[in-house]
Chains A and B, each alone.
Chain A
């Protein structure tokens, strides 16, 4: 039953993909001849066919060429998609794990101590709603390095969900389980590691999963701002080249990489999940 449900769902997905792709393909107007151009189009540089939304067939063609050699490097403005994704992933993971390094211990502290919770709550409430990009000018000014600033922006945007979820998970650990630790004479570090951590792990992982999603959203915008390398810069650069085929291709790549990142965390989350 489940097998057939999955099968049917997959069938519908594929049908939808082909149907939408087909409509898009057919709806794309044929290239106009120069006489048909409007005044505006002439002003904008003539009948550059790349300037209109390309049909799926062109995108697929581009995808095949790009993905067959993803790591070529022909100078600053012409690098393979693999290299660009690599830069973005590096920044995301660096900022993200730095955030985890701070958020999880602090989350523990806040979750275990009502005093720490009350004292730190106002800061969290004020800092949390700030768009990570709003930090960018300050980061650039203080850090004076665009690469590090991008990492900082990822750090600042991924820290809050992890911090809040960790605190929430730790605070919600059942008293009974803490009592089990106490009756077995576990010290506070042992209790944190053997009881609180596994008990709160599903909630912590939820926060980590939200954070990685946000980090991946933010890196594109951050790289558009700082420039140089990365998938965000790649999108912006191709837009400046009016290469819409590449823009759409990279958008799809962003989506797929984001999906894979989420899938990894979903897997870890399932591994630490438990049923009461």
Chain B
């Protein structure tokens, strides 16, 4: 791995003020995480644990209560074209055609480009997601859910962000469409040096796509409990991957976490306990727990008293 992480999350906390003057809601506190350039990272966790909250802060759309996010040596202080977001609900502009939604992004990225350049570039990405056959002229309301999702992916990819943030991008799709778009996503990502941070609820999807899967405990006071390494060789075929030795070990590990451990591990840590980088786990290699180079010790260490 590189010596310097591309994305550094440092002691990040997010609290929401309570509505009736009670305790504020702490979604997570003192979160630490490093992500390296070109990594494809998935995050798994139960609904409401705080995945979108983390992502919104990474996108610069939300502010953390304390702590900092550094990307490429600069602190993230607001949204920018370096962080491309595919929102959970597509967030296409409904008064623009699919094509115009993509050119909207391209024009913002390259204000100096000619009309022709903008169109060519936009079509390149619409073609990548298979939407260059006339469907691009239609408004989002006239497209199927899968097509809208693809427009949204094309828009995000067309601005070629350094960091791509995907919030359950395939949540509402049928298995077939989902498969197609997953393949497209991997193809586009592998041809670039982009870093991907993706939220998903689908264990198999995470194993198929990710280099690393982050497991988040239930909230409030959610933590990233583990970082599960998926070192199955790429390209990974949907049909072949299930025959990989490690596949079921990883899958079992993830399912067990979601079913049991996410709840057992939930809750606030004792005062004075500082959490470093999440523990790196490789279930495919005989559950060998390997410790990563980290800034702080990966285990829970009482602060010297």
User: B-contacting residues of A (Cβ < 8 Å)?
Assistant: 176-177, 179-180, 182-186, 194-195, 198-199, 201, 272, 274-276
> Is A276 within 8 A of B94, CB to CB?
yes
Q: What residue of chain A has the Cβ atom nearest to residue B59's Cβ?
A: A183
Residues of B within 8 A of A276 (CB): 94, 141
Given A177-B93, A198-B95, A274-B94, the answer on whether A185 and B79 have CB atoms closer than 8 Å is: yes
Given A177-B93, A179-B61, the answer on whether A184 and B105 have CB atoms closer than 8 Å is: yes
Interface 1/0s, chain B 88-101, versus A by CB < 8 A? 01010111100000
The residue that A183 contacts in the complex, of B79, B139, B141, with Cβ under 8 A, is B79
Residues of A within 8 A of B109 (CB): 184
Q: Tell yes or no: B272 within 8 A of A by CB.
A: no
Bound-complex Cα distance A180 to B104 (A): 10
Residues of A within 8 A of B87 (CB): 176, 179-180
CB distance from B93 to the nearest CB of A (A): 6
> Is B141 within 8 A of A275, CB to CB?
yes
> Is B94 within 8 A of A184, CB to CB?
no
User: A-contacting residues of B (Cβ < 8 Å)?
Assistant: 59-61, 78-81, 83-85, 87, 89, 91, 93-96, 104-105, 108-109, 139, 141, 159
Q: Of B61, B79, B96, which is in contact with the most chain A CB atoms at under 10 Å from its CB?
A: B79
Bound-complex Cα distance A177 to B95 (A): 11
Q: Of A183, A275, A276, which is in contact with the most chain B CB atoms at under 10 Å from its CB?
A: A183
Q: What residue of chain B has the Cβ atom nearest to residue A174's Cβ?
A: B91
The residue that B84 contacts in the complex, of A177, A179, A183, A198, with Cβ under 8 A, is A183
Residues of A within 8 A of B78 (CB): 182
> Is A199 within 8 A of B95, CB to CB?
yes
Bound-complex Cα distance A176 to B59 (A): 13
Residues of A within 8 A of B81 (CB): 183-185
Q: What residue of chain A has the Cβ atom nearest to residue B106's Cβ?
A: A184
Q: What residue of chain A has the Cβ atom nearest to residue B90's Cβ?
A: A176
> Is B80 within 8 A of A179, CB to CB?
no
The residue that B91 contacts in the complex, of A177, A194, A201, A275, with Cβ under 8 A, is A177
Bound-complex Cα distance A198 to B84 (A): 23
Q: What residue of chain B has the Cβ atom nearest to residue A182's Cβ?
A: B79
> Is B159 within 8 A of A179, CB to CB?
no
Bound-complex Cα distance A30 to B162 (A): 89
> Is A183 within 8 A of B93, CB to CB?
no
Residues of A within 8 A of B60 (CB): 182-183
Given A176-B87, A179-B61, the answer on whether A186 and B108 have CB atoms closer than 8 Å is: yes
Q: What residue of chain B has the Cβ atom nearest to residue A177's Cβ?
A: B93
Bound-complex Cα distance A201 to B78 (A): 28
Q: What residue of chain B has the Cβ atom nearest to residue A195's Cβ?
A: B93
Bound-complex Cα distance A195 to B87 (A): 17
Q: What residue of chain A has the Cβ atom nearest to residue B156's Cβ?
A: A183
CB distance from B268 to the nearest CB of A (A): 30
> Is B139 within 8 A of A180, CB to CB?
no
CB distance from A196 to the nearest CB of B (A): 11
Bound-complex Cα distance A184 to B108 (A): 6
Q: Of A198, A201, A272, which is in contact with the most chain B CB atoms at under 10 Å from its CB?
A: A198
> Is B61 within 8 A of A182, CB to CB?
yes
Bound-complex Cα distance A201 to B104 (A): 18
Residues of A within 8 A of B84 (CB): 183
Bound-complex Cα distance A185 to B78 (A): 9
Bound-complex Cα distance A182 to B85 (A): 11
Bound-complex Cα distance A217 to B83 (A): 53
Bound-complex Cα distance A177 to B78 (A): 16
Q: Of B60, B61, B93, B141, which is in contact with the most chain A CB atoms at under 10 Å from its CB?
A: B93
Residues of B within 8 A of A274 (CB): 94-95, 139, 141
CB distance from B158 to the nearest CB of A (A): 11
Bound-complex Cα distance A276 to B83 (A): 25
Q: Of A177, A182, A184, A276, which is in contact with the most chain B CB atoms at under 10 Å from its CB?
A: A184
Residues of B within 8 A of A184 (CB): 81, 104-105, 108-109, 159
The residue that B94 contacts in the complex, of A185, A186, A194, A275, with Cβ under 8 A, is A275
Residues of A within 8 A of B96 (CB): 198
> Is A179 within 8 A of B89, CB to CB?
no
